[in-house]
Amino acid sequence: MRELVERSMGGGVGRGRTVTVNLAESPLGWLRSRGLVDLRQFEAGERLRADYETASLGPRVTMRWAARVDGGGGEGLDPTMAQIAAKRRFDAATAAAGAGLADILWRVVCAGEGMPVAEKALGWPARAGRLVLTFALDRIADHYGLP
């Protein structure tokens, strides 16, 4: 299934470029497309993933090319401050989920592991992960104040 949306990448308003993203490609998007997580839970997971990526918490395979050598750049927070703020939001959200629930959140939402892989890595029985993931997503949705 394909669920294509346009996303703005980088820059401020009117800056940067837009790309087409298939939301169904992520494990969380896959769960959403099959009705296994609701819209509120999906949005909470996407916020967490956005903070994870902005904080640059994932592994890098190449150098960061975002800094411009000509001194230009977008308005708003400088990249370092934006990264620090995102790290704080990520830490607060995972703390709100709780120690037992943060593991499944990180594996499925941030690392992009499929549910069977995450369940096996955590030593959980098959089909237990989705239930725990929905609890975790509900907690971070409350944390983010989503309706």
Q: What is the pLDDT of residue 83?
A: 84
Q: What is the pLDDT of residue 65?
A: 57
Residues composing the chain: 147
Report the C-alpha gap between 133 and 24 in whole angstroms.
17
Q: What is the pLDDT of residue 60?
A: 55
Give the C-alpha distances (Å, rounded to integers) separating 109 from 28, 42, 64, 131: 6, 10, 23, 14
Do residues 94 and 102 touch, judged by C-beta distance below 8 A? yes
Q: What is the pLDDT of residue 19?
A: 67
SS3 33: helix
Q: What is the pLDDT of residue 139?
A: 95
Report the C-alpha gap between 146 and 5 in whole angstroms.
21
Q: What is the pLDDT of residue 6?
A: 77
Given a cut of 50, the residues of the chain with pLDDT beneath it are: 72, 74
Q: What is the pLDDT of residue 99?
A: 84
Q: What is the pLDDT of residue 101?
A: 92
